[in-house]
Amino acid sequence: MMHLLKVLILLMLVNALYGAGENIKSFWADFVQNVSSENEGKISYEGNIEAKVPNLAKWTYLKPLKKEIYINAQNVIVYEPNLYQATITHLEEKADFLSIIKTAVLGKDGRYLSVIGKTSYFLTFKDKKPYLLEFNDEFGNEVRIEFKNVRMNIPLKDSDFVFVPSDDIDIIHQ
């Protein structure tokens, strides 16, 4: 589940580290996510992400398969239109975001490091915007998410982060 919380970690880090006087309220970007493992090789995903403080996020995967992931303080909803199903998982484990922000350290390599649970997250900025998020997930995969066309502090509606299921899909509660 920590893997799905990466956007909240990113948004909190960006908000804390972006620069003096900056207060980031929203984040939108296209992304390319590469997941590499020794056994499976490399898998690439493409889509876009939007996030809004304090705890709203939506990942829209467009390639190789369509998928939407909605995240709020209570739940993660993974909607897979090709399977006609949505899986709703209640978040029982809360991340201490204030500790993440307070402990984020700028490394000699220019990346910010923050540790949550057993996962180390590395965030790289380019032109004062988040450019790259790197970490190893709970399965030992190397995850690298590159952000493009980054826009911050743009208007985002709360309704964009609400999953409205159609009548023809199965809802699975975990």
The CATH number assigned to the domain holding 147 equals 2.50.20.10
Q: What is the model's pLDDT at position 9?
A: 59
Measured distance between the N- and C-terminal CA atoms of the chain, rounded to whole angstroms: 12
Domain limits for position 107: 2-173
Q: What is the model's pLDDT at position 156?
A: 94
Paired with 81 in beta bridges are: none
15-33 confidence digits (pLDDT tens) = 555 553 356 778 899 999 9
Q: How many domains does the chain have?
A: 1
120-140 confidence digits (pLDDT tens) = 888 888 888 888 888 887 788
Q: What is the model's pLDDT at position 11?
A: 57
* Mean pLDDT, all residues of the chain: 82
30-67 confidence digits (pLDDT tens) = 999 999 988 888 999 999 999 888 778 899 999 999 99
